[in-house]
């Protein structure tokens, strides 16, 4: 008698989107970001108001990374190290293959991309992976959810240091290079607040848990302030005179190719490395994504007045990856339903808390979660 496979339910906050919302539609927070860009275009901060907005954005970035550090349990995340081959594969996709593809795209300048748009595209390739959407899509597709949690956590941790260093090395003067000022900004606005959050985590974890909804609004509002400040500065520099509709169309085409290459490379590459189907799904969804919420504040520190054009490719790629990966995750789930032998009786996925505060719709840069053990 054929054994009945247990139904694999998605853990809360990962496998399915809330009622009334689908992963394949336009992300509401992306609409808020685009609305902020519109406000900056119509009512940019100037003079003294610009100075106040800049100071507020600087404080907002520091607050964001403090909260990221306070939410992340490094000890629990390190429990996933036993699945080190999978995590190294995801890190290789995020911080090696993506940057190599970004460097290869230099040949598209100036015929398809302008130098500022290319700088933004290359920066996109250096940003760490998302976590929340990677977990969600992995769960929908019936992949290794614990591995996706840990892989995304390691990517976020590594991105705190690797993204600024790679941007400085590969973008040079476009991202401030290794000047004392840029390095001081990285340390003061990103690294020190993150480390302080880690140090104080035990003391404030309960407070963060009690006020996670309010802190979620603070996080999202902080990122909107960063975007408003960046695009206000862009208006002063004449950003819309530098980007035409044909250029935007070319950028979208390049990003579609980039996403397709990464989805294919992560899937078939993981297969060649001997990973099973569940692990390949986790690698594909964690290794092909980029975090909008982590990239925005980093860009404001690294690019300064040029941050408006630098974050445009990331904003477009963010929405594209959500729509494409939503369809792909459903396809993987249908494949598993048609061929149960390809998805052999996995252990039920562990419960994962609801979306951590401050995650940009999909997603969060550095999550609030207990990083489960990778199998």
Q: Is 13 left (phi over 0), alpha (psi -120 to 50) or beta?
A: left
C-beta of residue 332 within 8 angstroms of C-beta of residue 148: no
Q: What is the pLDDT of residues 187-204, one digit of tens each?
A: 777 778 888 988 898 888
What confidence category does residue 372 fall into, taking pLDDT thresholds of 50, 70 and 90? very low
Radius of gyration of the chain (CA): 20
Give the contacts of 91 (CB within 8 A, at least 6 positions apart).
Answer: 151, 154, 155, 158
Domain boundaries in the chain? 28-336
Per-residue pLDDT for 76 more than 90?
no
C-beta of residue 86 within 8 angstroms of C-beta of residue 283: yes
Q: How far apart are CA 160 and CA 301, in angstroms?
A: 12
Using alpha carbons only, give the angle 143, 146, 149 rounded to the nearest 5 degrees.
105
List the single range of 113-117, 164-168, 283-287, 307-311 with lowest mean pLDDT: 307-311
Crossing angle, helix 47-71 and helix 192-210, to 10 degrees?
70
The pLDDT of residue 169 is 85
Look at the domain 28-336 and name its fold: Na+/H+ antiporter like fold (1.20.1530)
Q: What is the pLDDT of residues 271-291, one digit of tens each?
A: 999 999 999 999 999 999 998
Average pLDDT over residues 68-81: 67
C-beta of residue 280 within 8 angstroms of C-beta of residue 92: no
Sequential DSSP letters for 80-99 = GGGGHHHHHHHHHIIIIIHH
The pLDDT of residue 103 is 96
* CA distances from residue 366 to 197, 246, 256, 345 in whole angstroms, order as listed: 12, 35, 25, 31
Task: Please indicate whether residue 22 or residue 156 has the higher confidence score (pLDDT).
Answer: 156
Could you count the other beta carbons within 10 Å of the beta carbon of residue 177? Answer: 15
Instruction: Please give the model's pTM, rounded to 2 decimal places.
Output: 0.71
The pLDDT of residue 181 is 59
């Amino acid at each position: 008698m054929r054994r009945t496979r247990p139904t694999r339910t998605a853990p809360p906050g990962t496998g399915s989107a809330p009622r009334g919302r689908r992963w394949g539609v336009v992300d509401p927070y992306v609409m808020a970001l685009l609305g902020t860009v519109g406000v900056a275009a119509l009512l940019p901060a100037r003079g003294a108001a610009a100075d106040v907005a800049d100071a507020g954005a600087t404080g907002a970035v520091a607050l964001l990374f403090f909260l990221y550090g306070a939410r992340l349990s490094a000890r629990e995340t390190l429990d996933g190290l036993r699945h080190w081959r999978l995590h190294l594969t995801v890190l290789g996709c995020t911080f090696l293959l993506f940057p190599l593809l970004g460097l290869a795209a230099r040949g598209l300048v100036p015929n398809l991309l302008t130098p500022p748009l290319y700088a933004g595209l290359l920066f996109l390739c250096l940003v760490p992976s998302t976590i929340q959407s990677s977990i969600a899509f992995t769960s929908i597709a019936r992949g290794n959810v614990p591995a996706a949690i840990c892989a995304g956590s390691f990517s976020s941790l590594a991105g705190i240091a690797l993204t600024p260093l790679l941007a400085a090395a590969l973008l040079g003067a476009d991202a401030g290079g290794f000047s004392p000022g840029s390095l001081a900004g990285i340390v003061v606005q990103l690294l020190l607040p993150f480390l302080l959050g880690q140090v104080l985590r035990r003391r404030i974890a309960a407070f963060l848990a009690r006020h996670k909804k309010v802190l979620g609004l603070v996080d999202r509002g902080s990122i909107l302030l960063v975007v408003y400040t960046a695009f206000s500065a862009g208006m002063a520099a004449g950003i819309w005179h530098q980007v035409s509709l044909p250029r935007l169309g070319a950028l979208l085409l390049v990003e579609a190719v980039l996403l397709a290459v990464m989805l294919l490379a992560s899937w078939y590459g993981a297969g060649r490395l001997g990973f099973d189907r569940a692990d390949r799904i986790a690698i594909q969804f964690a290794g092909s994504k980029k975090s909008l919420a982590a990239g925005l504040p980093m860009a404001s520190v690294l690019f300064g007045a040029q941050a408006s054009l630098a974050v445009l490719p990331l904003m477009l790629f963010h929405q594209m990856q959500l729509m494409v990966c939503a369809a792909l995750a459903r396809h993987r789930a249908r494949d598993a339903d048609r061929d149960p032998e390809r998805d052999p009786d996995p252990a039920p996925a562990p419960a994962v808390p609801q979306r951590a505060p401050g995650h940009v719709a999909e997603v969060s840069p550095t999550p609030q979660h207990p990083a489960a053990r990778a199998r």
